[in-house]
Copies of this chain bind each other. A is one copy, B any other.
Amino acid sequence: MGSEAHNTNNIDRSNKGKLSAEKAEYRILTDLSLPRVKAAFVVLVRNSELHALRSSMRYLEDRFNHKYNYPWIFLNDEPFTEEFKNLTCAMTNADVQYGLVPKEHWSYPDWIDQDLAAKRRQMMVDQKILYGGSESYRHMCRYQSGFFMLHPLLDELDYYWRVEPGVKFSCDIDYDPFRLMQERDLKYGFTIALREFRATVPTLWRTTLNFAKAYPQHIYPQTSPDSLFRFVTDDKGEKYNLCHFWSNFEIASLKFMRSEAYQSYFRYLDKAGGFFYERWGDAPVHSLAAAMMLKKSEVHWFYDIGYKHDFFEHCPTEQRWLTNSKCYCDPATSFDFNGGSCTNLFLDVTNRTASSYIVTQPDEEY
């Protein structure tokens, strides 16, 4: 496999050498004596979601964080209640911090015509589009698209792992995904990829292409063999194919998210008004940015991380993996190879197999 970074000398070209390189990396990824990466779980959450959040925390603490103790950061557009604070910090031994979303990140910018926005919401209600009438959902999508990475509680961090209330993690994560990001210089990690509802993003693609034309310095050359652009378009840029990484799970680089490239893309979209006049989600926004700005090798499919949100679940299905017994999800329910999934396209674009994204090594020797 040409994409293996370790196959550069004679020793590693043997199968044994490749395994050794994998093992050497894995030793670093599982070394609890190393200082932690500058990273945290980041959760945008309402007081009313307390118990669903506690459930998410239980899963993540059990499967991963009881060993690593990465801090939790909770953000809310309203102040957290004492009950919320007491019952969440009791779920972890790690540091917990509670932050308020600044008003200017959760309100209408002055260039938005609020009457027009209200009319457009009503149109989406009439079309029965999910959250079509919701203002708070739009503020949330906009916040997750361009502002959360600027919150002062994240200032000292290099990576974040986004968590939502009510999600489920079903595999033991024995290694440190944050360290994987750092070691392999990854910028973005996902578990589930799927297609957006077109009615929520009618002008997002055009706006994105206009941005790319206006700011070519921020765009990774689409003609490069390492370009990810094909993940978001099936016709060389004519249309958006609606593929996106499902951003309710993401492990990503804050440096990338705070970069001038990303932030100028967000500001460009924000000026265009689609967060309010349409219902642009943060998932397609993050994904279009990744597909335009990152190299294939900088985006990682966290194949090892069994993850469920709402009705969609990623569960590892490879035989090699199953016998590891790290997961308890049912591989038959995995969304990956469902017709609505974009994971196959991702594998096709990156020219890799599912197996090649397995990081976890078996407990026993080969």
Q: Across the interface, which residues of B come within 8 angstroms of A119, CB to CB?
A: none
Q: Does A57 contact B (CB under 8 A)?
A: yes
Chain B residues within an 8 Å CB radius of A58: 170, 328
Measured in the bound complex, the distance between the Cα atoms of B61 and A328 in whole Å is 12
Would you call A55 and B90 a contact (CB within 8 A)?
no
| Contact between chains at B55 and A329 (CB < 8 Å) | yes
Verify A52–B330 contact, CB threshold 8 A.
yes
A331 CB–B CB distance under 8 Å: yes
Please report which residues of chain A, range 68-92, place their CB below 8 angstroms from some CB of chain B when the two chains form the complex: 86-87, 90-91
Are B325 and A90 in contact, with the CB atoms below 8 A? yes
Does A322 have its Cβ within 8 Å of any Cβ on chain B?
A: yes
Asked if A57 contacts B87 (CB within 8 A), the reply is: no
Which residue among A58, A62, A329 has the maximum number of chain B CB atoms within 10 Å of its CB? A58
Q: Does A15 contact B (CB under 8 A)?
A: no
**How many monomers of this protein are in the complex?**
2
Main secondary structure, interface of A, reads helix
- Give the docked Cα–Cα distance between A170 and B59 (Å): 10
Q: In whole angstroms, how far apart are the Cα atoms of A262 and B251 in the complex?
A: 57
Interface centre among A91, A330, A332 (most CB of B within 10 A): A330
Contacting residue for A51 out of B55, B57, B62, B330, CB 8 A: B330
A187 close to chain B: CB less than 8 A = no
Q: Tell yes or no: A54 within 8 A of B by CB.
A: yes
- A323 interface contact, C-beta 8 A: yes
Closest chain B residue, CB of each to CB of A55: B328
Q: For A86, what are the chain B residues with a Cβ–Cβ distance below 8 Å?
A: 323
Q: Cβ of A322: which chain B residues have Cβ within 8 Å of it? A: 87
A58 vs B169: C-alpha distance when bound (angstroms): 12
Chain B residues whose CB sits within 8 angstroms of the CB of A55 once the complex forms: 170, 328-330
Closest to A326 in B: B90
- A329 contact set on B, CB distance < 8 A: 51, 55
Residue A91 contacts which of B54, B325, B331 (CB distance < 8 angstroms)? B325
